[in-house]
């Protein structure tokens, strides 16, 4: 029995000895995977911080009043979307989101808070306001064009009526005044 026990022990030791390199290889693979994971994590963190900083710098323009006058609704919606995406990660984005909400409320009458963070709803609301304004302007232009046309017709009619009277009165004067012939540009040129 001792011999069997001894051989069993020897076999176990030999198996353990052969398993040692496999265990060390597995440990080495685990360490390499962890190093790779940490490296990738550092790269992702650096990329995230870079994108956050770029977004913050891009959003700084909404703090300037001169940006708002020429900005169209597409640009405003793009800035709003960027601000909403980075709001929880960047204080500049949070400030920009607040500025955008205030300016959009003042300029367009759209309450951003009621729309939530949905960029499509925001774009749709701004597009509707822009459409309404364009229709109002076209309506005003149409009214102005109609008013202008009516005024032009009235002036034309007044001119027509006004020109007819002086001609009639000047003919009357010419027909009754026989003593002196009417002088024109040719007759003045002959005298000179």
% residues pLDDT > 70 (the chain): 58
Pair 22, 56: CB distance under 8 Å: no
pLDDT higher than 80, residue 95: yes
d(CA 28, CA 35): 10
Q: What average pLDDT does the segment 90-100 reach?
A: 93
Q: Is residue 47 part of a domain?
A: no
pTM greater than 0.85 (yes/no): no
User: In angstroms, what CA-CA distances link 174 with 167, 180, 181?
Assistant: 10, 9, 8
Q: Is residue 124 part of a domain?
A: yes
Convert the pLDDT of each residue in 44-82 to its tens digit: 999 999 999 999 999 999 999 999 989 888 898 899 889
Q: Is residue 17 part of a domain?
A: no
Query: What's residue 148's pLDDT?
Result: 63
Q: What average pLDDT does the segment 113-140 reach?
A: 72
Convert the pLDDT of each residue in 127-182 to its tens digit: 777 777 777 767 655 566 666 666 666 666 666 666 555 554 555 555 555 555 55
Convert the pLDDT of each residue in 5-37 to its tens digit: 557 666 666 655 565 677 777 888 888 888 888
Q: Is residue 116 part of a domain?
A: yes
Query: What's residue 172's pLDDT?
Result: 52
Query: 37 or 112: whose pLDDT is higher?
Result: 37
Q: Is residue 68 part of a domain?
A: yes
d(CA 183, CA 131): 64
Domain span holding position 100: 57-151
Task: Quickly list DSSP for 10-38.
Answer: HHHHHHHHHHHHHHHHHHHHHHHHHHHHH
Q: Is residue 32 part of a domain?
A: no
Q: Is residue 82 part of a domain?
A: yes
% residues pLDDT > 90 (the chain): 26
Query: What's residue 1's pLDDT?
Result: 47
How many independent structural domains does the chain possess? Answer: 1
Pair 96, 62: CB distance under 8 Å: yes
Q: Is residue 110 part of a domain?
A: yes
Helix residue ranges, H only, the chain: 2-59, 65-68, 73-86, 91-108, 112-115, 119-176, 185-191
């Amino acid at each position: 029995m001792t011999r069997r026990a001894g051989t069993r022990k020897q076999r176990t030791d030999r198996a353990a000895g052969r398993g040692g390199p496999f265990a060390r290889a597995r440990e080495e693979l685990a360490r390499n995977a962890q190093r790779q994971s940490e490296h990738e994590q550092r790269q992702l963190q650096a990329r995230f911080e870079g994108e956050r900083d770029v977004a913050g710098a891009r959003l700084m323009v909404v703090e300037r009043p001169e940006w708002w006058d020429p900005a169209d609704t597409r640009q405003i919606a793009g800035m709003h979307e960027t601000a909403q995406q980075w709001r929880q990660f960047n204080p500049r984005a949070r400030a920009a989101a607040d500025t955008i909400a205030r300016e959009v409320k003042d300029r367009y009458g759209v309450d951003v808070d009621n729309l939530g963070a949905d960029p499509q709803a925001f774009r749709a609301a701004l597009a509707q306001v822009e459409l309404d304004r364009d229709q109002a302007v076209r309506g005003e232009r149409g009214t102005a064009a109609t008013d202008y046309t009516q005024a032009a017709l009235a002036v034309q009619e007044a001119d027509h009526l006004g020109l007819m009277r002086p001609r009639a009165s000047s003919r009357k004067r010419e027909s009754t005044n026989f003593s002196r012939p009417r002088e024109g540009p040719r007759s003045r040129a002959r005298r000179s």
